[in-house]
Structure 1
């Protein structure tokens, strides 16, 4: 039986996945990490946890957090990030600029790529850097 929590796609297979698809997965990865981090940090009420989650996963917040990790990305990771930033998105939420949304999409694409390639430790490391100084 395949373990769907431990998916590991090959580099060749990952190259065939669109940036939008990587961002789709990365969005879920980031939100799960944020929700888990908030739970562990004591955000006990559903209302409080939801509000805190939304504040962190918004495009503006993701764009700011992406800036924190850019200096530590490997060449390959930076390439995936650029590919995600250049993805052809058709709608931008009203609360974010096009540039912020592009950065958020790039971050999500990177997290999706790392997750699907089985690099959970690297996802965790980058998440820790993004969340430094919070709560």
Structure 2
């Protein structure tokens, strides 16, 4: 895989994406989630790296991801919801550092969903869900 292909996965192979464990999906989903958040924060304006990091903290912590879980769960189709729940129910061998186990598992569910959608090449769907989650964490009312 060359660098230009990393964010442009074009596989629509559901079997391949479902072959991964929920924790493997969360592993790649964590990276993709981080890229979306860093891009969002960077687009707010040029600032020091320290300020960028502080601006992204509420999005990348388990509590923030758990809020996103509750915000998007009713917007998912059956397949996406199943992946979200697989991620949530996965038993991790590592213990969360800054969150209780329930919050940590909800965050893992969100990361697993993002990873799954990424492997399917569904970047537009990730963007849609991330935008909804960001609005929730920023306290922006959904304008219709």
* 1:114 lines up with 2:117 in the alignment: yes
Indicate which of 4, 7, 17 corresponds to 2:6: 4
- What 5-or-longer segments of structure 1 have no aligned partner? none
- What 5-or-longer segments of structure 2 have no aligned partner? 140-144
* 1:93 lines up with 2:96 in the alignment: yes
Q: Deviations over 1:38-75 (max 9, x none)?
A: 01112521101112223320111110111111110111
Partner of 2:29: 26
* 1:70 lines up with 2:73 in the alignment: yes
Indicate which of 130, 133, 138 corresponds to 1:130: 133
TM score, norm. by length of structure 2: 0.87
RMSD of aligned Cα (Å)? 1.7
Q: How far apart in 2 are the matches of 1:29 and 1:75?
A: 22
Q: How far apart in 2 are the matches of 1:57 and 1:4?
A: 21
Q: Deviations over 1:106-132 (max 9, x none)?
A: 000000000110000000000010011
Q: How far apart in 1 are the matches of 2:33 and 2:14?
A: 21
Partner of 1:37: 40
TM score, norm. by length of structure 1: 0.92
